[in-house]
Amino acid sequence: MEHGQAGNPRFPKGLIEWAGHHSGGVKRLFDDLSGRPGRELLRTRLIARLEAWAKDIAAGGPCAPRMLLLVGGPGNGKTEAIEHTIRHLDDALGAGGNLVARLASEFHPPAGQPVPRMVRASLDGLVPGRHGLELGIVQDASVTANQGGRTAPELLLEELSSLLDAGDSSLYLCCVNRGVLDDALILALDRRLDREQSLLEDITRSVSLSSDAPSCWPLKGHDAVAIWPMDAESLLVAPGDGVPSPASVLLEHATNGRDWPAAGSCAAGQYCPFCHGQALLEKQDERDALLQVLRWYELGSGKRWSFRDLFSLMSYLLAGHYQGQPGQDADPCGWAARLLHLDESRKRLARPSRGELVAMFQLATSSYQHALFHAWDHSAAASLAQDLKELSLGDHDQAVHSTLRGLQYFLQDRKKPYLPATIAPVLSSLAASLDPALADPDGEVAFTGLRPVVLADIDARFSRSLADGIDFMRKRQVLSPSELELLSRLGEADKLLSTPAVRRKRPGAAGRVQRTVRDFACRLVRRSICTRSAVVADASSLRSFQLVVEDGQGKRIHEVAKQVKNLLNEGHGFEISLTTTFGQPMPPGSRQAILVVPPQSVVPLPPATGGRPPPPIRFLRVGQGRSAQPIALTYDLFKAVEELERGLSPASLPQSVVALLDTTRAKLAGPIVRDPEVLENATIMIGADGTSVSKSWDRFVVTGKDQQA
């Protein structure tokens, strides 16, 4: 299809195929029409390593690994990495495309036949001077078709066994998920296969998220093996100096103006939310802000955006999520035009339909800012319906009544599933944790060429009068035509609800409806402008946490370690209960026995970076010697530390943080009570009367109210 506005623009209609449940979001080996929506390779750290590996193999490097395992779940780019490696190996060997052609034919069997689990190709005859070298590729280690009833773990174990015996004569590339790896390890233990068990244990350890995870490339202790955890590397972080992140490349391609209609020229004109979103995201600042929000979600949740997630997200944000008309292809601009037509019909009808009443609400909330932060309080719909019934606003102004009925129906529709199933859990979690409607009122939003605006100023204006708030925002020219149109209608409703004729009859109902309208309008404005500047809930804490995770040995992590030390230790030392086990409630004070040892230290652990992706989280070491334990510096723990510094009481810590600290204390307690060196300076506190037992030279000394040393 042609590019450019002079021809037939590809987007936003073409973005529908990017979704994970369409062909564009699923990669098939040696299928150029699948899995690569941007039509260009999205480079990661793994891609650079695979290219270097292919060159080493072609050059006959004796130290190049012979077994490559790419570990991770679906949608993480394993198939893309395998295909790129084969093509690069073909070039490096000078095979002239013969290697790619042979493997492609094997991975595309005749119709009705399953794709084989493993495809083998001998390099004899393909490459002059190379003999006895065979390449085996497992695209998906979960495949068991035509394998005589053997399970995936059994097949993987057999393949590893044969490779350990084959030496340097075989090359092996395998895509495998963690479940198959774990099951293969259990099987090796059951069958007492020592070599395979040792290898699988080291593989499992290398792809784990731990403070002492060993090198993956090459695998520590196995120079012939290289592993890469596909789900550990963030696609929102640049893989190297001068190389953009995969997510930024994808977003830039999706918003390239050459593939979109000219401004205002689509079927919905200036009211099209998708073309409006593209016009915003074509600017570098808005793209950077969106990518920052997505990265903060990764850091706050501990989850990673996969390639398939990002493809589906771009499709959802820039092309919507709905079904096309019966017998027609889905067309985002056409859908927006139909909504616009429905809204025009509303003005001419005495009793407009539900679809006509909600049309403008759907248009205004379909641009990418509102698609990302999509949650609305659907529970308010029932109260709004009852209040509108009591107020009978249709007797005063039919247009206002239609607007408020549209708000009621729009909120009711939020009870139904309306998100793409492939990314619905992620979108719901992101909207709940980073909603700009909950951003700090002291936060500032910058506008091009204008002075920044403090969110508290916007909140104050909309809480007093929608007319004041709308006029304030209209002057800054930052809202879309559909947003301004909807706000204007809500402003008319707010004005009517303030009149004595309405308030005198049902003041309570009028007040509730007015609060709902003003809250909706303020949230709409906040989400629209704050998303474009990455002003979201907890932005300050997330920005600091990002520096801690990505900045190595920065000053901030040492400050956090000091605060965690204060949380773990009491004023006089580290306390261990001798009368309870982990999870049990403390007994009455008169029956307590507490072992008090010197305070336990907390220091940052250096991140493990050799032969590994950058660590997605940092660790602290708690304790010393044999009792030392690593503790993950999660975002919840980091945020709690920041709030403690601002005056939060330790008694108000979140349950997740309290559980993490309690678990750490319990893990420290076991080694400490068995460590003679630590016990030399320990004291046992008994009961509630201050009685203590300590060691002095060759005897124990009891002190208390009535005892003396």
**Per-residue pLDDT tens for 465-475?**
999 999 999 99
Phi-psi region of 69 (alpha: psi -120 to 50; beta: other; left: phi over 0): beta
φ, ψ (nearest 5 deg) of residue 135 = -110, 125
CA distance between the termini of the chain: 92
Report the mean per-residue pLDDT for the chain: 88
Give pLDDT, residue 648: 84
Write down the pLDDT at residue 705. Answer: 58
Buried b (16+ CB within 10 A) or exposed e, 689-698: eebbbeeeee
Range of weakest confidence among 418-427, 641-650, 700-709: 700-709
* Euclidean distance between CA atoms 502 and 516, whole angstroms: 16
Q: Are 300 and 434 in contact (CB under 8 A)?
A: yes
pLDDT of residue 707: 53
Confidence of residue 6 (pLDDT cuts 50, 70, 90): very low
More confident residue, 494 or 74: 494
Angle between helix axes 481-497 and 398-413 (nearest 10 degrees) is: 120
pLDDT tens-digit profile of 392-420? 988 788 999 999 999 999 999 999 888 99
Locate the DSSP E strands across 483-605: 574-577, 593-597, 602-604
Instruction: For 146-165, write each residue's pLDDT tens digit.
Output: 778 899 999 999 999 998 88
Of 474, 469, 372, 387, the C-alpha closest to 429 is 372
Average pLDDT of the segment spanning 523-529: 97
pLDDT at 677: 79
Return the pLDDT at 1.
35
For the segment 665-702, what is each residue's pLDDT rounded down to a tens digit? 888 888 888 888 787 888 888 887 778 787 776 677 77
For residues 95 and 479, what is the distance between their CA atoms, to the nearest angstrom?
Answer: 56
Which has more pLDDT, 294 or 121? 294
Largest alpha-carbon pair distance within the chain? 99
* Greater pLDDT, 655 or 384: 384
- Mean pLDDT over 164-169 rounds to 78
Strand duo 450-454 + 444-447: pairing: antiparallel
Give pLDDT, residue 125.
67
User: What pLDDT sits at residue 395?
Assistant: 77
Measured distance CA(616)–CA(607) in Å, rounded: 10
Which two structure tokens, joined as six digits, stand for 577? 């209960």
Q: Are 680 and 673 in contact (CB under 8 A)?
A: no
pLDDT recorded at residue 695: 76
Higher pLDDT pick, 122 / 188: 188
For 193-236, the pLDDT digits (tens) are 999 999 999 999 999 888 888 999 999 999 999 999 988 889 99
Higher pLDDT residue, 474 or 571? 474
Q: What phi, psi does 83 have (nearest 5°)?
A: -60, -45
Q: How confident is the model at residue 5 (pLDDT cuts 50, 70, 90)?
A: very low
What is the percentage of the chain residues whose pLDDT exceeds 90?
Answer: 54
Q: Which two three-digit tokens encode residue 237?
A: 């972080």
Distance CA 655, CA 502 (A): 47
**Phi, psi (deg, nearest 5) at residue 603:** -135, 150
Q: Which of 238-242, 279-283, 319-323, 373-377 has the lowest average pLDDT? A: 319-323
pLDDT of the residue at 210? 86
Q: What percent of the chain has pLDDT over 70?
A: 94
Contacts of 482 (CB under 8 A, 6+ apart): 271, 273, 276, 360, 363, 364, 367
The C-alpha atoms of residue 398 and residue 403 are separated, in whole angstroms, by: 9
Assess whether pLDDT exceeds 80 at residue 144.
yes
Q: Is the pLDDT of residue 322 over 80?
A: no
